[in-house]
Amino acid sequence: MTFDTTQHNRRMTHFDDHDSFWLFGYGSLIWKADFPFLERRPAWIRGWSRRFWQGSHDHRGTPDAPGRVVTLTREPGAHCHGMAYRIRPDILAQLDMREKNGYLRALVPVHFDAEQAAEGLIYLATEENAAFLGEAPLTVMAAQIDQAWGPSGSNRDYLLNLARALDELGVDDHHVSMLAASLPGTGTKL
């Protein structure tokens, strides 16, 4: 697979005839939505865990010094909490462009509370994409994130903003909080 997933994502026409649908954000979308949306609600998806396993060459790093950003990995019984946005289908073209470095659209049930759920969309970077980095020791990942910088800003800010946004949602994500606490100069303040 090439780096650019735009063409592949355009072939996923599932929501094209919907007036609106839910996009589930589990990374920067939790604290920053730079696209029009109709509504937003805290939500979760089942059977997935958030991991800093995707390389970022175009936002929080460069091809020579990639950053690390989040993707999802399957984990039976896990819940991944985030923010869901109700959007119109025409917004997807700009999201496809923004997430073209390895992320593919995928369908998931999005849960809002114990009774309410809806079919939704996530952007998912699997280990088959060329930018995938995978697991590494916590201190190695933290050192990489501490150093990386790209067109969207520092990788360190990405991690700390995510940790803060999850904290504000009342979500305890061990992977994210451990990584934030492992950043040089951060200690265990979060």
Site for ligand BEZ in 89-128 (CB under 6 A): 99, 103, 123
Per-position x/- string for 125-164, each x denoting binding to ligand BEZ as judged by CB under 6 A, each - no binding: ----------------------------------------
Q: CB within 8 A of 25, min separation 6: which ones?
A: 33, 82, 83, 84, 85
CB of 110 to ligand BEZ, least distance (A): 12
Per-position x/- string for 53-92, each x denoting binding to ligand BEZ as judged by CB under 6 A, each - no binding: -----------------x----------------------
Interface with ligand BEZ by CB under 6 A: which range of 19-27, 85-93, 143-151, 153-161? Answer: 19-27
Give the binding-site size for ligand BEZ (rule: CB under 6 A): 9
* 99 classed as catalytic: yes
Query: Could you say which of 99, 127, 135, 168 is catalytic?
Result: 99
Catalytic sites, residue numbers: 99
Q: Which residues would be at the binding site for ligand BEZ (CB under 6 A)?
A: 25-29, 70, 99, 103, 123
